[in-house]
């Protein structure tokens, strides 16, 4: 045990251990310092003494006491721990339709049901005949609907900010984005790479935001998505706003959500939880829109400019929901563009990813399915500086309920994505280790990662101590911000 104990403290410790020899930890304080005594245990052959000095003893004492209490209690039973699960799944609360009603004939079902939200899943999960009909509809759609549903020169009509989902007026994530929590180097990076809004440069941003409808033309297919995914991405440009032609086309990116093509397997008769795998195109699009709205202060830097969630009618009459964002020259980390970056540009991209992950942390946004396609590499034309732009927030989570704290592991997710890029692009993974930086104080990560693809032994990533972050006096509260304001009054309640 390091340090010297006064006779009174030593006597008190012996008395406690004499009466309760199995005590796992003893925490004492004179409200200037906090002393923690850890007796020998199956994990410690010797006693341990720790002393913490603090300018905020009451706050520090609460945090330390809670930490040791959580450590001593059985896991997951008494304290809500951060959860990384995605909230984007069907909500089956409510009464079913009449289960005795006859089935709609298949031919009518096929003609009138165009997306998962057209089905009553509360009835569906309790009625095997309806489950089987749902999967017959899935087979019919698969046979008659191509994955890529829009093609070059197609013109799509859109209703601005139309989502057809009722959203309570005050529904919004709990924690706002607060730039004051970012370190100076991240703020400087965001300022350095800031891009002007393409619609503002074209002089049509105000007209578009206030519009009721618009049309756009497809220029090319950017991504066909995966076989299991529900999204396709296109390069496009707006051709008219409220029937007024747009004379100077500006390239944008259209992301369409089509849950009809989600790959699902027919469940067994006893499987009543199969519906948790079913996704909703509207909810995924809305989930991504909420993230872009919260990140509005950093749009045009480490995330693209965002121009809303809209309802699109395709040339064949199909109606889909989609997002419009800024189109960026470059490529994602899987592309030849990224593989051909110079060493300096690779380092710039790695460091930019660190700043971008920190922005997500401060915004309380967890990216739950990190992969190399989510990180675009863009060069600033004037300076040729390479930097990262994050996309694809459909599967993110945020804190909507204080009783359900969310896990933030963006540091680890972005770190692994960059290592994957190094392995695929054929450069040394130690470049990522040397330039990505350490976890922040609020990120209690502990992980083991291989530096190179051929390494035999993993290297540990260990977070810095949380004590400096816990015991500092809290910053003044940020000015109130309105997260209920969205893109348009009718976006909030339709």
Which residue, among 405, 411, 406, has the nearest Cα to 462 in the 3D structure? 411
Ranges of each domain in the chain: 7-72, 106-492
pLDDT digits (tens, 9 = 90+) for 442-472: 787 778 887 777 778 888 887 766 555 554 4
pLDDT above 80 for 79: no
Q: What is the pLDDT of residue 479?
A: 44
What's phi and psi for 404, nearest 5 deg? -125, 75
Q: How far apart are CA 40 and CA 36, in angstroms?
A: 13
5-9, 330-334, 381-385 — which is least confidently predicted? 5-9
pLDDT at residue number 482: 34
pLDDT in tens, 412-436: 999 999 999 998 888 888 899 999 9
What's the pTM value of the predicted model, to 2 decimals?
0.81
Cα(209)–Cα(205) distance, rounded to whole angstroms?
Answer: 6
Which DSSP symbol is given to 117?
Answer: G
What's the pLDDT tens digit per position in 368-386? 889 999 999 999 988 889 9
Helix (H/G/I), strand (E/B), else coil: 358: helix
Place of tokens 């991209």: 349
Residue 469 confidence (pLDDT):
52
CA–CA distance, 99 with 275 (Å, rounded to integer)? 18
Measured distance CA(150)–CA(316) in Å, rounded:
10
Using DSSP's 3-state secondary structure scheme, residue 419 falls into helix
With the CA atoms of 25, 30, 34 and 37 taken in that order, what torsion angle do they form, in degrees rounded to the nearest 10?
-30
pLDDT at 329 over 90: yes
Q: CA-CA distance, 298 to 387, in Å (whole number)?
A: 14
């Amino acid at each position: 045990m390091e340090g010297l104990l006064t006779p009174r403290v030593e006597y008190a410790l012996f008395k406690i251990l004499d009466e309760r020899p199995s005590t796992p930890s003893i925490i004492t304080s004179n409200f200037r310092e906090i002393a923690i005594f850890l007796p020998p245990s199956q994990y410690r052959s010797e006693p341990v003494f720790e002393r913490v000095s603090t300018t905020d003893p009451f706050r520090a004492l609460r945090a330390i006491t809670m930490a040791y209490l959580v450590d001593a209690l059985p896991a997951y039973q008494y304290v809500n721990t951060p959860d990384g699960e995605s909230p984007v799944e069907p909500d089956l609360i409510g009464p079913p339709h009449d289960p005795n009603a006859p089935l709609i004939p298949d031919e009518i079902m096929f003609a009138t049901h165009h997306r998962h939200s057209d089905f009553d899943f509360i009835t569906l999960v309790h009625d095997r005949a309806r489950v089987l009909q749902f999967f017959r509809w899935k087979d019919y759609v698969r046979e008659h609907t191509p994955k890529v549903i829009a093609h070059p020169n197609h013109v799509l009509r859109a209703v601005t900010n139309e989502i057809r989902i009722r959203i309570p007026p005050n529904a919004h994530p709990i924690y706002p984005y607060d730039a004051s929590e970012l370190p100076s180097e991240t703020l400087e990076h965001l300022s350095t790479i800031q891009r002007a809004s393409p619609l503002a440069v074209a002089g049509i941003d105000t007209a578009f935001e206030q519009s009721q409808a618009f049309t756009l033309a497809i220029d090319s297919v950017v991504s066909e998505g995966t076989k299991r995914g529900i999204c396709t991405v296109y390069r496009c440009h707006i051709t008219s706003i409220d029937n007024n032609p747009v004379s100077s086309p500006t390239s944008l990116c259209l992301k369409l959500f089509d849950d009809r093509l989600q790959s699902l397997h027919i469940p067994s008769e006893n499987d009543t939880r199969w519906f948790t795998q079913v996704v909703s195109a509207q909810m995924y699009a809305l989930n991504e829109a909420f993230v872009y709205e919260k990140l509005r202060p950093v749009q045009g830097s480490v995330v693209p400019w965002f121009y809303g969630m809209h309802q699109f009618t395709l040339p064949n009459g199909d109606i889909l929901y989609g997002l419009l964002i800024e189109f960026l020259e470059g490529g994602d980390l899987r592309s030849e563009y990224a593989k051909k970056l110079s060493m300096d540009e690779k380092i710039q991209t790695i460091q930019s990813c660190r700043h971008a992950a920190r922005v997500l942390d401060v915004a309380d946004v967890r990216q739950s399915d990190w992969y190399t396609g989510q990180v675009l590499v863009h060069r600033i034309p004037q300076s040729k500086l390479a930097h990262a732009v994050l996309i694809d927030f459909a599967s993110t989570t945020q804190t909507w309920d204080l009783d359900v704290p969310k896990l933030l592991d963006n540091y680890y997710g972005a770190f692994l994505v960059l290592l994957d890029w190094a392995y695929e692009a054929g450069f040394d993974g130690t470049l990522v280790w040397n330039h990505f930086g350490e976890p922040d104080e609020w990120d209690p990560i502990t992980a083991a990662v291989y530096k190179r693809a051929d390494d035999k032994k993993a290297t540990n990533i260990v977070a810095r101590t949380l004590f400096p972050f816990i015991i500092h006096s809290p910053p003044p509260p940020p000015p109130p911000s309105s997260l209920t304001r969205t893109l348009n009054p009718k976006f909030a309640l339709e």
